[in-house]
Structure 1
């Protein structure tokens, strides 16, 4: 009996801790994304360039709920620094960009480029490391963008638009942004041969009610535009996290089922051990169904005690991890954890259901 109780408690504790870690990782990554993803993003329904951008700017400017907005151009670019080259993501932004997102808080070294400049850029940490670009005005990286057109190329120099930038700072966010380069929007407009008033998207910082403003802008701007909130911008990442969490959950269901074999064994052993006492009760008029219910209740009691002990242990371990960082994700950061009511309910109902199922069928083994 004690073996089955211990097995259920350990499996419950492990399941709760792992789910708490996943909740912590999800919250941590969402916070990282919030540093670079705006509250709302307006995109064209077709094509890349926003149509009738003056209309969009006018509508956005007229809303009191809009705290700030910025024009953005984002495109892949070929980067060359001496003999090293990479394909990166170029993000051109205007002077309001830092009012919309907090990327300036994510810099490991240096600073965000001066938006009025035509030759400054901030590089993602992994990209800067691979290229070996220093934070120095004397060293320039070359940016290349293919020119549009259908004619045959007679000279490779005529096939690309070029820009030269020096690195002003290095930022570190997550894997998605390690290959990004932030430049003033006029640099990206020049590389793409776009008018000075053009943009691929408009990003918004909202004061309070994001969903209400999103709904209102969709109605006012019409079907030419797509308006995404932060959760919709991160939809693929959040979906991936949920799928990973689901697989971990299913794996631990299997662990709990295996642990419940001890419970089934304990109930069967108790049935065999109390065989003569059971026969005495039957002789005194006690029913077989009553005996089966008795042994079923024993299994439920073992399960409940195992769940309670496991959740208490899991809560203690999670609290210790949150306070003292017992297990490190890397040399600088412990694994994040989060206390979530959903995790308590998921663990509680999962283990109780499996314990109920195992106890029911094990108690049916009573046969004299």
Structure 2
């Protein structure tokens, strides 16, 4: 008698004697749960893939650590920073950086871009030279070379040669009325040495030698807005804490993830909203399960009366139909998980769905996603099965 409820519930699930309508409703609810589970698992795996892709991207284009001033734009005590970083064995290399918006003009075309001035150590910190579609990174000794993001170069129509130059304009600081536009801007001419492609975030960037950005901003030769550091991978967190202690509160020191914290936070929020939407989808799919349980109760009413006459209690009958609902839900969830795993495996190996012409949608298997999907669907299905089985009434 101990496992009688489970035995009868399983018989109801596989029974071929049920009416066709009951079977259709029961298997429709199973399929609905399977599809919702599969979709939820696939979408969460895509978000995991996007997260891993972006973290990998940040590791390629973001420095291990970035030092910037806690107030103002320009770093103070550059000599002190150079000495501390040069003598630290955890620091592989570091580069001084100046980054600011700039106005670009070429051949009657105008654009707003991000100008990033870097010194001769930059390529030791960030391997940007591996991202070039054509040409090369500008020489650190040059005063008129620049590398352009692919989208910016395309919009300007700027060729790679030393004959055609683009004009860079930087607003001058200060107050008061201006007699002419020449007084409003610092300007310089640069020719494009190469075109690089990273992602949308960097398509409007221009990389120039540090002295070019210093000239445009009227800064001294020893000035910088930030210092980017390449550290030993295993020592990044230790180095960050050590530098915070050595440099004090006058500087902000960020690791790779912290440098793009707002973007990663936005992705987490998007993932949360998608998860909440799929909870709603699973709840809607579970309405089919509730309907199936109620129909099974009505279909098995005569058998239920026979069980009661044999001493079976109403509570045990309710538990039996509750278990029937759980069996339907569990089979639906397992089928959905298996199908979702198969679809994600196919996408990860054969790249059937493309994000653009060159890159497939990234996808990543995570144990956490299995736990979230199984936990969510089982909890909702259990609640729906319990509430539906309480509808049993012979009065």
Give TM-score, length-normalised by structure 1: 0.98
Assess if the C-alpha contact under 8 Å between 1:32 and 1:174 holds in 2: no
Q: In the alignment, is residue 321 of structure 1 matched against residue 347 of structure 2?
A: yes
The correspondence for 1:261, drawn from 287, 295, 304, is: 287
Gaps of 5+ in 1: none
Q: CA deviation at 1:325?
A: 0.7
Residue 249 (structure 1) aligns with = 275
The correspondence for 2:193, drawn from 129, 146, 168, is: 168
Residue 125 (structure 2) aligns with = 100
Assess if the C-alpha contact under 8 Å between 1:109 and 1:170 holds in 2: yes
Residue 194 (structure 1) aligns with = 219
Assess if the C-alpha contact under 8 Å between 2:105 and 2:111 holds in 1: yes
Distance across 2 between alignment mates of 1:130 and 1:245: 34
The correspondence for 1:56, drawn from 67, 81, 93, is: 81
The correspondence for 1:352, drawn from 368, 378, 383, is: 378
Gaps of 5+ in 2: 1-25
Assess if the C-alpha contact under 8 Å between 1:81 and 1:142 holds in 2: yes
Equivalent pairs, count: 368
Residue 158 (structure 2) aligns with = 133
1:231-271 CA distance string (max 9 Å, x none):
11011110111111111111111111111111111111111
Assess if the C-alpha contact under 8 Å between 2:58 and 2:257 holds in 1: no
Distance across 2 between alignment mates of 1:133 and 1:34: 30
Q: CA deviation at 1:280?
A: 1.4
1:114-138 CA distance string (max 9 Å, x none):
1111111011111111111111111
1:38-78 CA distance string (max 9 Å, x none):
01000000000001111111111121111111000000111
Q: Could you say which structure has the larger radius of gyration?
A: 2
* 1:288-303 equivalent positions in 2, closer than 5 A: 288-303=314-329
Residue 363 (structure 1) aligns with = 389
Moved more, 218-227 or 244-253: 244-253
Q: In the alignment, is residue 231 of structure 1 matched against residue 257 of structure 2?
A: yes
Q: In the alignment, is residue 143 of structure 1 matched against residue 143 of structure 2?
A: no
Distance across 1 between alignment mates of 2:173 and 2:352: 55
Q: Structure 1: which 4+ aligned runs deviate by more than 3 Å?
A: none
Q: In the alignment, is residue 113 of structure 1 matched against residue 138 of structure 2?
A: yes
Assess if the C-alpha contact under 8 Å between 1:34 and 1:101 holds in 2: no
Q: In the alignment, is residue 40 of structure 1 matched against residue 65 of structure 2?
A: yes
Distance across 1 between alignment mates of 2:179 and 2:344: 65
Distance across 1 between alignment mates of 2:134 and 2:59: 20
User: SS of the counterpart of 1:245?
Assistant: helix
The correspondence for 1:276, drawn from 299, 302, 308, is: 302
User: SS of the counterpart of 2:249?
Assistant: coil
Residue 41 (structure 2) aligns with = 16
Assess if the C-alpha contact under 8 Å between 2:63 and 2:228 holds in 1: yes
Moved more, 55-64 or 149-158: 149-158
Moved more, 74-83 or 324-333: 324-333
User: SS of the counterpart of 1:133?
Assistant: coil
Q: CA deviation at 1:168?
A: 0.9
The correspondence for 2:240, drawn from 208, 214, 220, is: 214
Residue 13 (structure 2) aligns with = none
Residue 209 (structure 2) aligns with = 184
Distance across 1 between alignment mates of 2:173 and 2:357: 46
Residue 5 (structure 2) aligns with = none
Distance across 2 between alignment mates of 1:209 and 1:343: 30
1:191-245 CA distance string (max 9 Å, x none):
0011111100001111122111111110110010000011110111101111111
Assess if the C-alpha contact under 8 Å between 1:268 and 1:365 holds in 2: yes
Give TM-score, length-normalised by structure 2: 0.91
Q: In the alignment, is residue 336 of structure 1 matched against residue 362 of structure 2?
A: yes
Assess if the C-alpha contact under 8 Å between 1:68 and 1:205 holds in 2: yes
User: SS of the counterpart of 2:338?
Assistant: helix
Distance across 2 between alignment mates of 1:268 and 1:209: 61
Assess if the C-alpha contact under 8 Å between 2:168 and 2:188 holds in 1: yes
